[in-house]
Amino acid sequence: MSDMFRLDQKIAVVIGAGSGIGQAAAIGLARQGAARVICADLRLDSAQDTASQIGATAEAATVDIANSDSVRDLLCGVVARHGGLHIAVSTPGINVRKSILDYSSDELDRVISVNLKGTFHVLREAGAIMAAAGGGSIIAFSSIRSVTVEPGQGVYAATKAGIVQMVRALAAELGSKNVRVNAVAPGVVETPLTAPIKNNPAWYAAYAAKSVFGRWARADEMAGPVAFLASDASSYITGSVLFVDGGWTAADGRFTPPL
């Protein structure tokens, strides 16, 4: 059974691999035997750091997910150098925490450009390559905010919900080509994006209490779900959202009634 989870001979690209969830995903895919892991990030030095942690089977690349040409050049270059693309993971996301009434048009464009349009670029370009090759697995990162929201998260939540619907649509469109497309929806994870919350003890504790485990997730706890969705163990899973949220969306978590 363990062979089902192996990724031997697979070529994987992880966008956002320079830190946080993306870094953990790249390392996780390598540990499952991926023949080559391309660690791509806007910051080449960060991508190189992740690649060095993996070793000889990894390489670093730069990419701007908000730029469609940059994404296309990255993925086509991988195919040209390595003969194929079997796994594509898209993790980047940004957030501007403001009420909708206070949001500027520039801030709206910035969040949508990275989160929604950026993910779209990966889905489109990786989908085209994999459809032509007859198969592959694409994994995009959504969030619990796709289904539950709080003040100041409206635009971010809208982009994460949009990612889910794009994933579902592409899964339906490419199923006949043996291309699987899924989303991972984390809860709160200790990453650079959430560092400002971690630095606020009350806020940090409140989010920890929402998990049934009473704690935040570590970035490395996202690696297993990514490796699973990339592997043959999930061969009949597509168009799905895998919530990796410590029970956040399953339980209220605020009050335990007497039973």
Q: What is the pLDDT of residues 155-170, one digit of tens each?
A: 999 999 999 999 999 9
Buried b (16+ CB within 10 A) or exposed e, 123-149: bebbbbbbbebeebbbbbbbbbbbbeb
Q: Which two tokens stand for residue 67?
A: 């730029």
Q: Which two tokens stand for residue 257?
A: 């009634």
- Tell me which of 103, 156, 204, 207 is the catalytic residue: 156
Q: Assign 259 a pLDDT band (cuts: 50, 70, 90).
A: low
- pTM of the predicted model, to two decimals? 0.95
Q: Which residue has the higher pLDDT, 34 or 259?
A: 34
Q: How many residues does the chain have?
A: 259
Sign of the dihedral through C-alpha 103, 108, 104, 198: positive
Q: Which residue has the higher pLDDT, 19 or 257?
A: 19
Is residue 204 flagged as an active site residue?
Answer: no
Q: pLDDT at residue 258 above 70? A: no
Express as a percent the part of the chain with pLDDT over 70: 97
Which domains are seen in the chain, by residue range? Answer: 2-244 (3.40.50.720)
- How far is it, in rounded angstroms, from Cα 14 to Cα 230? 11
- How far is it, in rounded angstroms, from Cα 9 to Cα 85? 11
| Residue from 123, 130, 125 nearest 170 by CA | 123
